[in-house]
């Protein structure tokens, strides 16, 4: 699925050495070629010496091929995968701070409920909600909450795993 719908957006997972400077090299690779990163998510894997970078970028087949090859060429890289090439699950988490006067709260709670979001903070004027889902779901709840007044959002960027037993194994072992 992450061969994301309408446009030429791609979700790419990269396993790299978990050490300083590696992210700078990945970012440099994109900036040197004028490619944009829409979202970027980095975290350590079950092997503490390996980090997983999930990034979302755009480009036609030719650009994607170059991105894939250059990521593979980075000496810190163990493995690169375009998540769109196999069936995979993708999730993003978003925190949304909405202005929520008393009168509007029932309706807001209803929307949050439908989207299986969680209220994580409440103040006299605002509610902060946590929602996890794929791009479509995040987009939808943002649309619905828009009229109430979104004061601030924070998004994690996308993470993705292939479905089933298949894994993105690093060549490390």
Among positions 3, 70, 137, 155, the unique one binding another protein when judged by CB under 8 A: 70
Nearer to another protein, 64 or 108 (CB): 64
Q: How far is the CB of 165 from another protein (least distance, A)?
A: 23
- Is residue 42 at the binding interface for another protein, with CB under 8 A as the rule? no
Nearer to another protein, 1 or 23 (CB): 23
**Which residue from 88, 92, 94 is spatially nearest to 112, judged by alpha carbons?**
94
Find all residues with CB under 8 Å of 71, minimum gap 6, and list them. Answer: 12, 14, 26, 29, 77, 80
Q: Does 74 bind another protein (CB under 8 A)?
A: yes
* Cβ count within 10 A of residue 15: 22
Rounded least distance, CB 75 to another protein, Å:
5
Ramachandran class of 164: left when φ > 0, alpha when ψ lies in -120 to 50, beta otherwise = left
Residue from 36, 72, 110, 123 in contact with another protein (CB under 8 A): 72
Shortest Å distance, C-beta 82 to another protein? 15
Helix-helix angle 22-32:61-73, to 10 degrees: 150
* Closer residue to another protein in complex, CB, 70/105: 70
Nearer to another protein, 65 or 87 (CB): 65
DSSP-assigned letter for residue 4: B
Query: Tokens 């008393």 label which residue?
Result: 102
**Rounded CA gap, 64 and 122, in Å?**
43
Which CB, 139 or 172, lies closer to another protein? 172
Residue 75 binding another protein, by CB under 8 A: yes
On whether the CB atoms of residues 42 and 92 are closer than 8 A, the answer is no
76 is a site residue for another protein (CB under 8 A)? yes
For another protein, the binding residues (CB under 8 A) are 17, 20-21, 24-25, 28, 32, 49, 62, 65-66, 69-70, 72-78, 170-172
């Amino acid at each position: 699925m992450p061969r994301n719908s309408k446009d030429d957006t791609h979700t790419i997972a990269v396993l790299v050495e978990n050490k300083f400077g590696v992210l700078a090299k990945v970012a440099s690779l994109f900036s040197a070629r004028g490619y944009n990163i829409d979202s970027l998510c980095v975290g350590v894997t079950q092997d503490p010496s390996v980090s997983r970078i999930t990034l979302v970028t755009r480009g036609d087949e030719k650009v994607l091929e170059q991105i894939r090859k250059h990521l593979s060429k980075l000496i810190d890289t163990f493995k690169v995968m375009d998540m769109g090439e196999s069936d995979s699950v993708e999730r993003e988490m978003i925190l949304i701070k909405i202005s929520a006067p008393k009168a509007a709260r029932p309706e807001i709670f209803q929307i949050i409920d439908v989207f299986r979001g969680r209220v994580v903070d409440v103040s006299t004027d605002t509610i902060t909600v946590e929602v996890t889902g794929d791009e479509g779901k995040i987009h939808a709840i943002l649309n619905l909450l828009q009229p109430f007044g979104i004061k601030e959002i924070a998004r994690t960027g996308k993470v993705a795993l292939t479905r089933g037993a298949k894994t993105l194994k690093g060549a490390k072992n």
